[in-house]
Structure 1
Amino acid sequence: MRFTRVIAVGAAALMASSLGAIAAYGDDTSSGETIVVAGQEFGPEDGLRVTTESWVVPSGGEAVGATYSSPRGGMSTQAVWGSSYAYSREILQLDYIGYAKAGGNIYGGQRIIRVCFYWTRGSVRSATTCADARYDGRWTPGPEVTASFSDSLDPNAPQTQFWALKYSVPPQG
């Protein structure tokens, strides 16, 4: 059972690593927002940045989303803890399932501390689901989170969009 889960998670991570090239929207901004991750408060004074991306969800089960992988080589293992990601898949043309993980890793010169996602379809919006990295003297990956969203059976309904938010701060020490 555990071995099967490792294979499934590995396959999902490998599949998600190919995502990101078809982003329909992207915005990287300093945020006026303050968040709490691993018992620590982060805000504008800490250099908190929020990157928002969205994709139109295609029918047919193709996954959409992003993987924020740390570069290989040149960084100590204490600075690189794996990948962070958010992606969505269609399930049986009726539902979507989303996955997110915050790896506490360095990506684009920033440490990823939270990854969130949600879906929209016209004026309908799902709840936002977030994954946080862990901190116990060093940053480590938090658990993967999942959520689902029902598709519309109306052939004239607006297209569903998947949204990913990456929260990051400058790495310390």
Structure 2
Amino acid sequence: MTMVITEELKAKAEVYYGDEICQDKTKFLLQEVGLPRGLLPLRDIIECGHVKETGFVWLKQKKKVEHVFSKIGRKVTYSPEIAAYVENNKIKKVSGVKAKELLLWLTVEEISAADEAAPEKITFKTTTGLYRTFPRSAFELEEDGEEAEQQKKLPPAIPAPPEKAPQAAANK
């Protein structure tokens, strides 16, 4: 499925330009729908958009990106244009993402979490009907994992005592 991003569609969307803001918006959207923020490790994003009423999102980057998720040893390619529909714990009707399985490149059609039986898992379904499930931690950003580890090591927060108001000069 290749989705054409028309001016009419852009008029209904929140659209952002530039890598830094698009990186932030992409990570925020993934987190907002309950998916790991490292799921789309894109580079040099030119444009991103989100139509809230339908859940349609798109990302345009300068060139194709290949990424290896080292914790699971899987290579994934992200086309220059990626489009999908997002909803709570799911990305569906994905275009522009392929995963290598043995010697084949398979088109990823859906990414989902929230299986009550396995809340710490992410499932990837392909257009051929095949699917694979991996630990959610394999797709988290390193800083997210480090931050969580640091939070575990910190002692419980102790509230600071309230500051006393300075005495008025009239009391002298």
Q: Normalising to structure 1: TM-score of the pair?
A: 0.28
Larger radius of gyration between Structure 1 and Structure 2: 2
- Higher strand fraction (1 or 2): 1
Task: Give the TM-score normalised by structure 2.
Answer: 0.28
